[in-house]
Amino acid sequence: MANQAAIKQSSNTEGMVNGIHMETLMGTVNAIQKTPELGQCKFRARNTWLGGSRNCTSISGFYGAGQEFEHKQTFKLQADEPPILAGSDEGANPVEHLLNALAGCVTTSMVAHAAVRGINIEALECELEGDLDLRGFLGLADDVPKGFTEIRINFKVTSDADDLQTLKDLTRYSPVFNTLMQGVNVAIELQEK
């Protein structure tokens, strides 16, 4: 488990690879290796409908490494829809938020696993595009999938990796990538307020 001293050092460049404080990361890795139950996490979010297509998610904490953690601030994320979907365009729409989740996760996974392997990344950026046919969501055609039918990510990287395939292979560790590729059961309950 990371201790406070280790966390504070993370602003130094000493002991850092790709901007990641390796002692902190390896502390977590070693703790979970020793006590596998510490790997079990519960991530959480709370959402409030604001009328029409607008809603706001608050993210304040999570369970992991055998204890509850509070984020240092509550993160607020706004969703809306564009005018052609009768929204007021005050925020990214939910499927765009999904692309954001995927982009962030694959990026972080590649950077962290590269760090562990001593591969230095200088720059990394990506563009994503996902195909979605609105006839599914609108209920206009039962044979049209309601979700994304494919998502493409194109990365551009500057690194000292011997070959790009090694870096590309590290994307397989991404939790969001795996959740999307494998699918996951979403259990929905609804009760009166």
Nearest approach in angstroms of CB 130 to its own copies is: 5
Q: Closest separation between CB of residue 35 and its own copies, Å?
A: 11
Nearer to its own copies, 14 or 190 (CB): 190
Q: In degrees to the nearest 10, what's the CA dihedral of 178, 175, 101, 132?
A: 10
CB 141 within 8 A of CB 135: yes
Closest CB 162 distance from its own copies, rounded Å? 13
Q: How far is the CB of 143 from its own copies (least distance, A)?
A: 11
Q: Nearer to its own copies by C-beta: 52 or 118?
A: 52
The residues, ordered by sequence, that sit 6+ positions from 8 with a Cβ below 8 Å of its Cβ are none
Q: Given the complex with its own copies, which of 46 and 118 has the nearer CB atom?
A: 46
Pairing of strands 150-159, 16-17: unpaired
The answer to whether the CB of 86 falls within 8 A of the CB of 97 is: no
